[in-house]
Amino acid sequence: MEGEERGDDPDDLDDEARDGEDAAETVTIEISGLSLYTHHGVSAAEREVGQRLVLDLRLDIGESDATVTDSIEDTVDYAEVCQLVALIAQQRSHKTLERLCSTIADRLLADYELEGVWVKAAKPEPPIALSVDEVSVEVWREASA
């Protein structure tokens, strides 16, 4: 169009941003507050009745071509990750959050090309006699070289 100067077109901005880019950027995906109804706990009552569990995840992807290609095929689909984590957390009961977090971390590392994964599981209403906002456990795993 007449009167438009270079830089006014959003597509030009993308091209300019790519100039000089030789390598993909390091990417971390964070998922916060994945709330699921689960049956984890030390007591039989916790495992039978169940309770809400809130999961936070950090996936270290490393270098990702998606920063340049804008393609979901070049990264990890976080919707797919959420579905997998929900399946893992709900298909089997664990006594400890440590074991649950470990199981999730191991499965994510097995199924996706990740450099590392951090999993946090929190019980917002833990069944203990004292007033506590939540209890949580975190597990960090790095991929094997």
pTM, rounded to two decimals: 0.80
Q: What is the pLDDT of residue 20?
A: 45
The 3-state secondary structure of 80-136 reads HHHHHHHHHHHHCCCCCHHHHHHHHHHHHHHHCCCCEEEEEEEECCCCCCCCCCCEE
pLDDT tens digits, one per residue of 63-94: 999 889 999 999 999 999 999 999 999 999 89
